[in-house]
Amino acid sequence: MTKLHWSYKDVFRALRLGFSAKKVWMMSLGLLVGFAGYTILTYIAYAAAGTDFLSVWQTFRLLPLPSPLDYTFPWYSWIIFAAAVLWFICALLITGTAVSKVAYEQLRGDEFYESKEAFRFAFRNTPAVLSSPLLILAFVALIVVFGLIFSLLGAIPAAGEIFVGLLAVLGFIASLFIVYLLIVLCFALLLGPSVIGATHSDTFDTLFEVFSCVNEQPARLLWYTATTALLAKVGSFLLGLAASAAGRIGYAITGAFMGEKLADVVSNASYYFKLASPDWCPYLFQRIFLDEMNLYGFPQVYMPGEYLTLGWSHDIASLLLGVLLYLIAIMVAGYGLSVWFTGMTLNFAVLAYKKDEKNVLELPEDEEELIEPVPNPELDDLKPKPASEAPEKKV
């Protein structure tokens, strides 16, 4: 079992513990499934809005993101897009639960906990993973409904204004409670998978732990969460630099004899691999993204050139290399999220110890052990015996 300091020092273990081939592979698989469903549903949303496939492809490639100011996007397309976002979030939460379970078992001393067992655990606890934030949203929706009824009563001539004035304090308290619930909702999404991975809790137990962390350890929760987010970003950035260096080395060695042929293949591969921030994003975000791509040494993925038609062999090689670039990007993001969910598991372990003086690493196993009954000869003689073992009667 890992010995923790039960302080902020434990949070920094996430960068090392998250650097695990098993966790990165699990997270990459979850991202692949999440992005695949998101891309398909978003293209369907654009098709429902009357936008042709080629226009969306030329603008976004495989990660389309409609603008919230696009008035040509009908309401039913927004519903499809919401389903796409919901699919991605569900895939991320379920995979994060599996990664948190692996991290938890690793902290308990089991370095060989299998990924398939972790995914089986995550799917078995999917109702708790998804219903925890949904239950908070249901409370928010209920308060909003009461607010609409309050507004309806306020529309009564003469008496309505007086009614609103008398109950304005209650309305303010209800609005303040909505703000509180939205804060808890954020931490239910951020911390919930790690709580379930560590305690195998149901919906209400998970919400109890999240509410408890928010109420009793708010400063540590914010500090640990911000530190974990920073470590996740640093981890993905460092792995991105390593992947960029590996790509440059491979390009230099492979291009020794291929020359311009390799340059054309890489140029066409970058045409497939386009990571474009939408025009409606703030300029600062676009600037930061472009600077990061420049640090990686691949500015062409932000604004790739036109596709060069050179021959069928070049086309196949460019397509395969473009797929490889997507897989590398998913792996880099997967490491960052592996650090995140591992760090949040550590965070919850420390917070549970601080607020409850409870070591979650010493909780009993989820599976009940089968205990063999102690043999008792006297009781065995009283049990009816099978006909084959019954003594023969003498005639």
Instruction: Name the nearest CA neighbour of 343 among 239, 240, 224.
Output: 224
Instruction: Name the nearest CA neighbour of 228 among 261, 264, 194.
Output: 194
Q: How confident is the model at residue 373 (pLDDT cuts 50, 70, 90)?
A: very low
Task: Name the burial class of residue 85, with classes exposed (0-12), middle (13-18) and buried (19+) by CB atoms within 10 angstroms of its CB.
Answer: middle
The predicted pLDDT at position 384 comes to 54
Q: 376, 275 in Cβ contact below 8 A? A: no
Structure-block tokens of residue 80: 């499809």
Structure-block tokens of residue 64: 């389309």
Tell whether the torsion through CA atoms of 365, 368, 370 and 373 is positive or negative: positive
Residue 255 has pLDDT above 90, yes or no: no
Q: What is the mean pLDDT of residues 273-281?
A: 70
The predicted pLDDT at position 260 comes to 84
Q: What is the mean pLDDT of residues 63-78?
A: 83
Q: What is the mean pLDDT of residues 333-355?
A: 94
The predicted pLDDT at position 370 comes to 34
How many angstroms separate the Cα of 160 from the Cα of each of 66, 145, 157, 164?
A: 42, 18, 6, 6
Query: How many helices and strands in the chain, by DSSP H and E?
Result: 14, 0
Q: What is the mean pLDDT of residues 223-232?
A: 96
Of 158-172, 212-226, 316-330, 358-372, the range with the lowest mean pLDDT is 358-372
Structure-block tokens of residue 218: 């708010």
| Residue that the structure tokens 């919401």 belong to | 82
Half-sphere exposure of 313 (CA within 13 A, CB side): 2
Of 46-60, 286-300, 338-352, the range with the lowest mean pLDDT is 286-300
Mean pLDDT of the chain: 85
Tell whether the torsion through CA atoms of 218, 224, 228 and 230 is positive or negative: positive
The predicted pLDDT at position 63 comes to 85
The predicted pLDDT at position 179 comes to 95
Q: 136, 188 in Cβ contact below 8 A? A: yes
The predicted pLDDT at position 367 comes to 43
Residue 180 has pLDDT above 70, yes or no: yes
Residue 371 has pLDDT above 80, yes or no: no
Q: How confident is the model at residue 385 (pLDDT cuts 50, 70, 90)?
A: low
Residue 299 has pLDDT above 60, yes or no: no
d(CA 23, CA 269): 28
Q: What is the mean pLDDT of residues 137-150?
A: 91
Residue 300 has pLDDT above 60, yes or no: no
d(CA 225, CA 339): 12
Q: What is the mean pLDDT of residues 69-94?
A: 91
Residue 395 has pLDDT above 50, yes or no: no
Residue 97 has pLDDT above 60, yes or no: yes
pLDDT in tens, 279-291: 677 777 777 777 7
The predicted pLDDT at position 310 comes to 79
Q: 61, 276 in Cβ contact below 8 A? A: yes
Structure-block tokens of residue 114: 């299998």
The predicted pLDDT at position 227 comes to 96
d(CA 54, CA 226): 40
The predicted pLDDT at position 32 comes to 96
**pTM listed for this prediction:** 0.85
Q: 60, 43 in Cβ contact below 8 A? A: no
pLDDT in tens, 25-49: 999 999 999 999 999 999 999 999 9
The predicted pLDDT at position 71 comes to 75
Per-position b or e across 134-148, b if 16+ CB within 10 A of its CB: ebbeeebeeeeeeee
